[in-house]
Amino acid sequence: MKRRALSAILLLVVAFSTPASAQDWPAKPIRLVVSLAPGGAADVGARLIAEPLSAAL
């Protein structure tokens, strides 16, 4: 009985450890959320970072 349980556990581990097929990433546009006022320093910095980040991803 112990051997059968161990075999079942091993089978489950092997079945769920197979790699999933890769998908194109990102499938949707990525949003950069800045929670501070528009036109402020954080907004300007985010806009400067967004363009190179978009090209890199």
Q: Report pLDDT for 46.
A: 92
32 contacts 50 by C-beta, under 8 angstroms:
yes
Q: Give start and end residues of each alpha helix (H) in 1-57.
A: 2-16, 41-56
Q: Looking at residues 11-36, what average pLDDT do you find?
A: 76
Q: Give the predicted TM-score (pTM) of the model.
A: 0.49
Q: Domain segments of the chain: what residues?
A: 29-57
Q: Does pLDDT of 29 surpass 70?
A: yes
d(CA 45, CA 51): 11
DSSP label at 30?
A: P
Provide the pLDDT confidence category of residue 9 given band limits of 50, 70 and 90. confident
